[in-house]
Structure 1
Amino acid sequence: MDLVKCMEAFVITVKTGSFAATSISLNTSPQMIAKYILFLENYLGLKLLNRTTRSQHLTEFGKQYYERCLFILGEIKSTKSLAQQFSQEPKGRLRISAPISYGQFNLIPVISRFMKCYPKVNIDMQLSDRYVDLVKDDFDVVFRIGSLNDSSLIARKLSDLQLIFAASPSYLAQNGIPSIPDDLKKHQCLIYQYVTPTKKDNFWPFTINGKLTNIAISGAFQSNNTTALAAAAIEGLGITMLPESVLNESIKQSKLIPILQDFLPPPRETHILYTADKQRLPKLNIFIEFMVNAMS
């Protein structure tokens, strides 16, 4: 016998006070309602109702079981509602935050495919290299690069981001090609300017003999924009360290040449983060799964 159907009959019986009224509500017979209640009692091994010829009352256990049934049936209804939401076409606005270069070079191609699949979803993507608070700044999802701080947010891992080193053919022809990281002391390095500057800004990470090593660098040009740094490298102003995705096209066109490839730093982890909300709308759930599938 259907356990949920029996629980539903029990709850309605408690509310209406009779098998006859419950049978009308469930479009069945009073005898069938009695069988539902009896099945529950046999299943549980305890009486739920004390019945007389004129009335029926909940047992002490029946009172507690009634409250649990209300909760369980409510959750079942909520689950059905969630399934119905997923069957609907996703629509509405999604507000997204991502680091500038990651958004430009990594996310835009994937988001464009997402929007072609789900044309009724509008994307509001805010690009910034500052740390944003997903809840306070009213974002649906944020993309983060690097190690994560402990938080109540859910993090889904995406493909790692690889930093590489490159310079223009003209710069390397004039200044020579560095063969080891220490050679950079003799070169102009194009320095990324972080939102919150630290002493680490003037160090680049390398993998030397299997270990992560920071090497001091210097240069006459610095910027807080990766596109500007890539353009400066193409113009021959020095050596740059940027994500591979930012430099790939320029390398293919021979505008830049990758260097020090035997000393690349470990890839940086990348995640998509969102709140642990059980009632997320279909547009957000579908977007998250789309991005994870496309970028993992």
Structure 2
Amino acid sequence: MEAFVLAVKTGSFVATSVSLNTSPQMVTKYIAFLEKHLGLKLLNRTTRSQHLTEFGKQYYQRCLLILSEINETKILAQQFIDEPNGRLRISAPVSFGHYNLIPVISRFMKRYPKINIDLQLNDRYVDMVKEDFDMVFRIGQLNDSGLIGRKLNDYQLIFAASPAYLAQNGIPAVPEEIKHHQCLIYQYVNRSKNDYVWPFTVNGKVINISISGALQTNDTAALAVAAVEGLGITMLPQSMLAESIKQNKLLPILQNFLPPARPVHMLYTADRQRLPKMKMFIELVVNAMS
């Protein structure tokens, strides 16, 4: 069709061949193929001139429309490549989502305003395929799921308390002293209140020490606020407490006995990683978190 349209516009098979970077003989074959395929003559040619048949005139106009639509489709495809758009459905743990992922998502959405993000935050195990997520973030050791995993920066829990609490109750120097303090407890489902322990690293080994405290909650953000208010010692992600520590609202303690850092992975399926919106988001997350 391109050869036919150019031949009509230029009035020359030679000029057409130059535009298409081919030979005049190939242009002749293209036109002949079209005429054989259609069963009708498109051009009447003599040694000195060529002109459209009655059918050729109408076919030429249709070819102009078709080629224009093809070009528009190419432009649309290029826009998908150049500027990601559409929806990304993502699952992540609550605290990680608040303090690690949202800043990255913010940069991504400002860079690509045609993207919509559906971010679901919860601490339960999410079946990515069954629940139709494009991507999930997991903290801890991975099971063999058949998904593609990109390892990100480790997730570090730290211990902290307010200056007022520590001034009144003293600063624990070793993990065993935590037993004498008010600990702000993250309340797991179906867990006895007398069955809470915190992990500490002592001489390269992890030991679990029982803790107790008057305040328990299933919300980590509430624990962070309670710590700032001086209600006790908390164990929460470093990223979550960083701003309060910077403002001296909290002081990190027992820094030589921190729990082992937990691995973080970004998971997705092989077929979805080829989508432009996924490729761009994966690249941004990897650059920001690894």
**TM-score (normalised: structure 1):** 0.69
**Contact 1:90–1:118 under 8 Å retained in 2:** yes
Q: Report the Cα offset of residue 148 of structure 1.
A: 0.9
CA distance in 2, matches of 1:96, 1:199: 33
**Contact 2:186–2:217 under 8 Å retained in 1:** yes
Query: Cα RMSD over matched residues?
Result: 2.8
CA distance in 2, matches of 1:222, 1:213: 22
Residue 222 of structure 1 aligns with which residue? 216
Distance 1:294 1:125, change over 3 A: same
CA distance in 2, matches of 1:88, 1:238: 51
Q: Select the residue among 100, 103, 113 that pairs with 2:97.
A: 103
Match of 2:208, as an amino acid? N
Residue 207 of structure 1 aligns with which residue? 201
Residue 257 of structure 1 aligns with which residue? 251
Q: What fraction of aligned residue pairs are identical, expressed as a percent?
A: 71
**Contact 1:90–1:120 under 8 Å retained in 2:** yes
**Contact 2:201–2:258 under 8 Å retained in 1:** yes
The answer to whether 1:245 aligns with 2:239 is: yes
**Contact 1:85–1:282 under 8 Å retained in 2:** no
**Contact 2:194–2:212 under 8 Å retained in 1:** no
User: How do 1:13-92 and structure 2 match up within 5 A?
Assistant: 24=29, 87-92=81-86
Q: Report the Cα offset of residue 193 of structure 1.
A: 1.8
CA distance in 2, matches of 1:159, 1:224: 25
Distance 1:199 1:292, change over 3 A: farther
CA distance in 1, matches of 2:246, 2:271: 43
**Contact 1:141–1:272 under 8 Å retained in 2:** yes
Distance 1:279 1:224, change over 3 A: closer
Distance 1:208 1:25, change over 3 A: farther
Residue-by-residue CA offset, 1:80-106 (whole Å, 9 max, x unaligned): xxx968634210011111111111111
Residue-by-residue CA offset, 1:51-73 (whole Å, 9 max, x unaligned): xxxxxxxxxxxxxxxxxxxxxxx
Residue-by-residue CA offset, 1:221-278 (whole Å, 9 max, x unaligned): 1111111000111111110000001101111111111100111112111111111216
Match of 1:243, as an amino acid? P
Distance 1:147 1:200, change over 3 A: farther
How many residues end up aligned between the 2 structures?
223
Residue-by-residue CA offset, 1:113-162 (whole Å, 9 max, x unaligned): 11111111111111111111111111110111111111111110111111
Q: Select the residue among 105, 130, 140 that pairs with 1:136.
A: 130
Match of 2:223, as an amino acid? L
**Contact 2:183–2:212 under 8 Å retained in 1:** yes
Match of 1:123, as an amino acid? I
**Contact 2:157–2:261 under 8 Å retained in 1:** yes
Task: Please tell me whether Structure 1 or Structure 2 has the larger radius of gyration of its CA atoms.
Answer: 2
**Contact 1:250–1:256 under 8 Å retained in 2:** yes
Residue 171 of structure 2 aligns with which residue? 177
Q: Report the Cα offset of residue 292 of structure 1.
A: 1.2
CA distance in 1, matches of 2:171, 2:203: 20
Structure 2 residue ranges without an equivalent (≥5): 1-27, 33-76
**Contact 2:273–2:279 under 8 Å retained in 1:** no
CA distance in 2, matches of 1:241, 1:117: 35
The answer to whether 1:123 aligns with 2:133 is: no
Distance 1:243 1:279, change over 3 A: closer
Give the 3-state SS of the residue equivalent to 1:126 in structure 2. Answer: strand
Distance 1:196 1:135, change over 3 A: farther
Q: Select the residue among 145, 148, 155 that pairs with 2:149.
A: 155
**Contact 1:98–1:126 under 8 Å retained in 2:** yes
Match of 1:135, as an amino acid? V
Match of 1:271, as an amino acid? H
Q: Select the residue among 102, 108, 115 that pairs with 1:114.
A: 108
Deviates more, 1:278-287 or 1:162-171: 278-287
Give the 3-state SS of the residue equivalent to 1:143 in structure 2. Answer: strand
